[in-house]
């Protein structure tokens, strides 16, 4: 399948929907490509109730005339102005664009601890997504752990579905969460929401400076051991949702060659990246939550559609909100003691079952990949990369296509028409097979 | 229309089950009590990220392996099998 757009948006979460809708008002051909079965991204994932903002943006998107490619996963950017995407059934698409808006969102950061690979131990957002996908949670005992504002939101949502929230454990100390709470006085809507979440789970233990040291069970989760200070105790449970805040999905921006600074995509006031005509909005530019993501999406959409005056007005509002990004990062800073959670036998790379002890003595991410296969499985280091960054200080380098596993037939169709990939090794670096010239 | 009429019938590891519309294949597999896959050293695994990134939820759907079950909705007549267990 081939299609081309004046403006193509990658990612249909809050930022991507806002970008597509804002750009569409200018009457251009807009495409919105997204990996999930429905629009909304992760925070506004379909299934169960959605906040009013989410419903309004989804309704606007439906009325907008934007061409929606839902269930398509972008795996390559073979040349400027073109993305390649694949659908679950193996269908491949070549998507052309004049301007591109990257709204690729974020994922949870996972830290390995003994037993974290047991079935029913999931991310906090991961468990929430599974419940939205139909997993019955009523009367199930749930421990929500990790760090960040997502924990309370998830616990409150699961409670509404009848879960028995046994404990919510944030690794951050109480003093730091209190400071973050005080910072929220300037963001009354967020503060109100936090209080509502806390009220929704009253009766559940909310523990600070506390984390899971091990999950236990035979073929699936049966209990966890929690630690707070010097205290350590066992808690029976059916599900764990454990995530340590968020890391941005910057694989596609990095593949395109957008400048990345300290792990986030650099943008100007119009949300334009270091590549002219390529914009980025939402969490990949800094983890700031849904409100900021929507604002950034609107700015990117207006700027890409050639409406700089309107974009500039919103850019002023954005500047006032950027302080929250830093405050959130501080509140979620990881306790160094979490580095001692894995034992020698703990799997760090879940795809390739690489144990913690195996990774000792390697100096870089690349070295560990080559010697141990850490990060070489189908997730391509999306899970263990951020973990090893925290555990060993390794920086994940060298994003190469395909950025998601793709069928050989898709790669074949990608390479036939395009000649050598611009990111591929220089000619002569590897032996090549003679190619017939037409 | 009654809930039963609106429910979706599918097979998971050879056992018939019915789920509500909008249910992901990962949720159906979890309800069936099966791990989604075995790791390279044989450990049972289930979904982790719920958003199509970790690849722990890979199952075989209608004979096509390595499908990320958390990103796919159940459809009538679907046949799902998980690693190490016989296909229906």
Segment A128-156 mean pLDDT: 97
Per-residue tens of pLDDT for chain B, all 88 residues: 455 558 999 999 999 999 999 999 999 999 999 999 999 999 999 999 999 999 999 999 999 999 999 999 999 999 999 975 543 3
ipTM for the predicted complex: 0.93
Residue B83: is it exposed, middle or buried by C-beta count within 10 angstroms (0-12/13-18/19+)?
A: middle
**Is B24 in Cβ contact with A130 (below 8 Å)?**
yes
Nearest-Cα distance to chain B for A350, in Å, is: 8
**DSSP 3-state assignment of A105?**
coil
Q: Do A37 and B72 touch (CB under 8 A)?
A: yes
Residues 6+ apart with CB under 8 A from A360: none
pLDDT confidence bin for A7, thresholds 50/70/90: very high
Find, in chain A, the residue whose alpha carbon is nearest to that of B72: A37
Section A421-425 average pLDDT:
47
In A, which residues are within 8 Å of B56 by CB distance? 350
| Neighbouring-strand partners of residue A68 | A32
DSSP alpha helices (H): ranges in A102-185? 124-132, 150-160, 174-183
What pLDDT does residue A164 have? Answer: 97
Please indicate whether, in this complex, the C-beta atoms of A350 and B56 are within 8 angstroms of each other: yes
Under an 8 A CB cutoff, do B52 and A383 touch?
A: no
DSSP class of residue A37 equals S
Residue from B3, B27, B33, B54 to probe the interface with A (highest A Cβ count within 10 Å): B54
Q: What is the DSSP letter of A426?
A: P
Rounded to whole angstroms, how far apart are CA atoms A322 and A293?
11
pTM equals: 0.92
Return the H-helix or E-strand segment holding B13: none
Q: Are A388 and A359 in contact (CB under 8 A)?
A: yes
Residue A84 CA to residue A96 CA, distance in Å, equals 9
Distance CA A352, CA B39 (A): 8
Which residues of B have a CB under 8 Å from any CB of A? Answer: 19-20, 22-24, 26-28, 30-31, 35-36, 39-41, 43-56, 58, 64, 66-68, 70-73
Contact at 8 Å (CB) between A61 and A98? no
Q: Do B28 and A42 make contact, defined as CB atoms within 8 angstroms? A: no
Pairing of strands A210-216, A205-208: unpaired
Cβ neighbours around B88 below 10 Å, total = 13
Contacts of B73 in chain A (CB under 8 A): 37
Instruction: Flag if B31 and A383 touch (Cβ within 8 Å).
Output: no
Confidence band for A412, pLDDT divided at 50, 70 and 90: confident
- A-chain residues near B53 (CB < 8 A): 107, 249, 379, 382-383
**How confident is the model at residue B84, as a pLDDT?**
57
pLDDT per residue as tens digits for the range A84-93: 999 988 899 9
CB contact under 8 A, A117 and B71: no
Assess whether pLDDT exceeds 60 at residue A47: yes
Would the CB atoms of B39 and A126 count as touching at under 8 Å? Answer: no
Give CA–CA dist A413/A407, Å, rounded.
10
pLDDT tens-place string over residues A328-385: 999 999 999 999 999 999 999 999 999 999 999 999 999 999 999 999 999 999 999 9
Cβ contacts of B48 on chain A, cutoff 8 Å: 110, 121-123, 126, 350, 383
Which residues in chain B touch residue A125, judged by CB atoms under 8 angstroms apart?
49-51
Report the C-alpha gap between A335 and A236 in whole angstroms.
25
- The mean pLDDT of chain A is 92
What's the pLDDT at A371? Answer: 96
How far is the C-alpha of A165 from the C-alpha of A159, rounded, in Å? 7
Q: What is the pLDDT of residue A187?
A: 86
Least confident residue range of A196-205, A410-419, B32-41: A410-419
Shortest Cα distance from B44 to chain A (angstroms)? 6
pLDDT-based confidence at residue A420 (cuts at 50, 70, 90): very low
Closest CA to A263 of A294, A287, A242: A287
Whether the Cβ atoms of residue B43 and residue A217 lie closer than 8 Å to each other: no
Q: Which of A148, A377, A368, A159 is nearest to B45 (CA)?
A: A377
Cβ-based burial of A97 (10 A; exposed 0-12, middle 13-18, buried ≥19): buried
């Amino acid at each position: 399948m081939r299609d081309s757009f004046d403006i193509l948006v990658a990612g249909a979460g809050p930022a991507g929907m806002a970008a597509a809708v804002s750009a569409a008002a200018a009457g251009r051909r807009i495409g919105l490509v997204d990996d999930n079965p429905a629009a909304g991204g992760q925070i506004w994932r379909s299934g169960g109730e959605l906040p009013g903002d989410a419903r309004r943006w989804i309704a606007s998107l439906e009325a907008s005339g934007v061409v929606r490619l839902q269930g398509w996963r972008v795996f390559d950017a073979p040349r400027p102005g073109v993305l390649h995407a694949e659908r679950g059934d193996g269908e491949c698409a070549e998507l052309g664009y004049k301007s591109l808006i990257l709204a690729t969102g974020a994922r949870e950061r996972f830290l390995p601890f003994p037993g974290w690979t047991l079935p029913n131990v999931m991310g906090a957002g991961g468990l929430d997504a599974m419940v939205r996908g139909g997993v019955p949670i009523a009367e199930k005992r749930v421990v929500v752990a990790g760090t960040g504002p997502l924990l309370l939101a998830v616990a409150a949502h699961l409670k509404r579905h009848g879960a028995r929230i046994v404990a919510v454990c944030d690794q951050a100390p109480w003093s730091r969460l209190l400071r973050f709470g005080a910072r929220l006085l300037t963001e009354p809507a967020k503060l109100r929401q936090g209080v509502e979440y806390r009220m929704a789970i009253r009766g559940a233990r909310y523990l600070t400076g506390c984390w899971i040291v091990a999950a236990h069970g035979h073929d699936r989760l049966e209990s966890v051991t929690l630690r707070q200070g010097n205290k350590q105790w066992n808690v029976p449970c059916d599900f764990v949702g454990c995530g340590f805040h968020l890391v941005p999905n910057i694989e596609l921006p990095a593949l395109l060659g957008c400048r990345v600074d300290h792990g986030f995509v650099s943008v100007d006031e119009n949300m334009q990246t270091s590549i002219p005509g390529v914009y980025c909005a939402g969490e990949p530019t800094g983890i700031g939550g849904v409100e900021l993501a929507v604002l950034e999406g609107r700015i990117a959409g207006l700027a890409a559609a050639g409406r700089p005056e309107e974009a500039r007005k919103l850019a002023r509002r954005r500047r006032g909100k950027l302080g929250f990004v830093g405050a959130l990062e501080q509140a979620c800073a990881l306790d160094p003691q979490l580095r001692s959670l894995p034992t020698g036998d703990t799997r760090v790379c879940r795809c390739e079952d690489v144990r913690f002890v195996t990774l000792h003595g390697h100096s870089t991410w690349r070295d560990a990949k080559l010697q141990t296969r850490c990060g070489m499985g189908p997730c391509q280091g999306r899970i263990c990369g951020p973990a090893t960054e925290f555990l060993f200080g390794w920086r994940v380098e060298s994003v190469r296509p395909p950025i998601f596993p793709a069928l050989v037939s898709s790669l074949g169709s990608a390479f036939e028409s395009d000649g050598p990939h611009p990111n591929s090794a220089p000619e002569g670096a590897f032996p090549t097979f003679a190619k017939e010239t037409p | 229309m009654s809930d039963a009429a609106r429910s979706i019938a599918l097979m998971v590891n050879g056992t018939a089950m019915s789920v509500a519309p909008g249910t992901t294949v990962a949720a159906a597999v979890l309800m069936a009590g099966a791990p989604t896959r075995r790791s390279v050293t044989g450990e049972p695994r289930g979904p982790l990220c719920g958003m199509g990134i970790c690849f722990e939820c890979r199952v075989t759907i209608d004979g096509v392996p390595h499908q990320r079950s958390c990103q796919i909705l159940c459809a009538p007549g679907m046949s799902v099998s998980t690693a190490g267990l016989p296909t229906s």
